[in-house]
């Protein structure tokens, strides 16, 4: 774990160190022992005081990632970074399914509104056309991995929110409404610091990073059926693209 931490940057040392240790755990750096190196060693490696390392470990313990035991060391409790494949047949629930026991999609809120210019462009509707907007959070084993704002053509998918609430999956909700198959047309990926809404929805702490996708799904004729802006906790997921 090379590379030093930086001082006087507006990001506390303990937070930089917590981010680095979390990353190292997720990369499998400590798989042999199942433990984080001793505080004194980490302090030496990062060039900081042991107390500063302790602050970082306390933050990771708060997240449930490690558990410090007096006299033994700091045990790794959870080591997760879900892999999310982005393909023509991208499916959230099925894509994550093998990596977690329970996948759930929860509906936070929904409304019917008129498409603004951006939504209309992606869904190939005229601006002002009626659309359904849904705010959702998806959880793997009760840990939130992403939150999304999604728009759907209102006429074609009347009643979608109620069906989604029951099925907890877009794929199954589409199937219930007569759309048996759909494909991913385009995906845009960016990254940013989590905003206040992300922090609440994803149970993150300020300074956390989110991977943001803007994606369009179409039916097999190429007609857009969904436009979604999804925000993933960067600590908990990675994307793969297979060509």
Partner DNA sequence: TATTATTTGTCCGTATGTATA
Partner DNA sequence: ATATACATACGGACAAATAAT
Residue 69: beta bridge partners? 73
CB of 50 to DNA, least distance (A): 7
User: What would the x/- binding string for its own copies be over residues 17 to 56, using CB under 8 A?
Assistant: -xxx--x---------------------------------
* 185 touching its own copies, by CB under 8 A: yes
* 238 touching its own copies, by CB under 8 A: yes
The entry of its own copies, DNA, none near residue 86 (CB within 5 to 8 angstroms by kind) is its own copies
The entry of its own copies, DNA, none near residue 126 (CB within 5 to 8 angstroms by kind) is none
Residues 27-86 that bind DNA (CB under 7 A): 36, 38-41, 47-49, 51-52, 54-55, 57, 68-74
DSSP 182: -
Contacts by residues 89-95 (CB-CB < 8 Å, ≥ 24 positions apart): 89/183, 89/184, 90/184, 90/187, 90/215, 90/217, 91/171, 92/138, 92/146, 92/169, 92/170, 92/171, 93/138, 93/168, 93/169, 93/171, 94/171
Please choose, from the candidates 88, 85, 92, the residue with its C-alpha nearest in 3D space to the C-alpha of residue 150.
92
Burial class (CB in 10 A: 0-12, 13-18, 19+), 124: middle
The entry of its own copies, DNA, none near residue 196 (CB within 5 to 8 angstroms by kind) is its own copies
The entry of its own copies, DNA, none near residue 74 (CB within 5 to 8 angstroms by kind) is DNA
User: What would the x/- binding string for its own copies be over residues 119 to 148, using CB under 8 A?
Assistant: ------------------------------
């Amino acid at each position: 774990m090379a590379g030093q931490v930086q001082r006087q940057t507006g990001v506390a040392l303990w937070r930089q160190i917590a981010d680095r240790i979390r990353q190292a755990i997720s990369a499998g750096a400590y798989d042999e022992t199942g433990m984080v190196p001793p505080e004194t060693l980490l302090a030496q490696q990062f060039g900081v005081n042991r107390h500063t390392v302790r602050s970082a470990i306390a933050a990771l313990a708060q997240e449930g990632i490690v558990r410090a035991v007096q006299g033994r060391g700091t045990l790794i409790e959870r080591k997760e970074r879900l892999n999310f494949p982005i393909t023509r047949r991208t499916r959230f629930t099925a894509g994550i399914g093998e990596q977690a026991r329970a996948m759930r999609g929860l509906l936070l809120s929904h409304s019917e509104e008129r498409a603004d210019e951006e939504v209309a462009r992606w869904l190939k509707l005229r601006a002002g056309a009626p659309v359904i907007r849904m705010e959702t959070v998806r959880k793997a084993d009760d840990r939130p991995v992403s939150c999304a704002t999604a728009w759907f053509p209102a006429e074609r998918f009347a009643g979608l929110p109620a069906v989604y609430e029951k099925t907890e999956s877009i794929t199954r909700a589409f199937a219930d409404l007569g759309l048996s198959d759909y494909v991913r047309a385009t995906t845009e990926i960016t990254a940013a610091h989590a905003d206040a809404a992300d922090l609440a929805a994803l149970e993150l702490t300020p300074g956390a990073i989110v991977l943001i996708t803007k994606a369009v799904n179409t039916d097999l004729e190429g007609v857009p059926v969904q436009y979604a802006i999804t925000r993933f906790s960067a600590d908990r997921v990675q994307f793969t693209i297979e060509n």
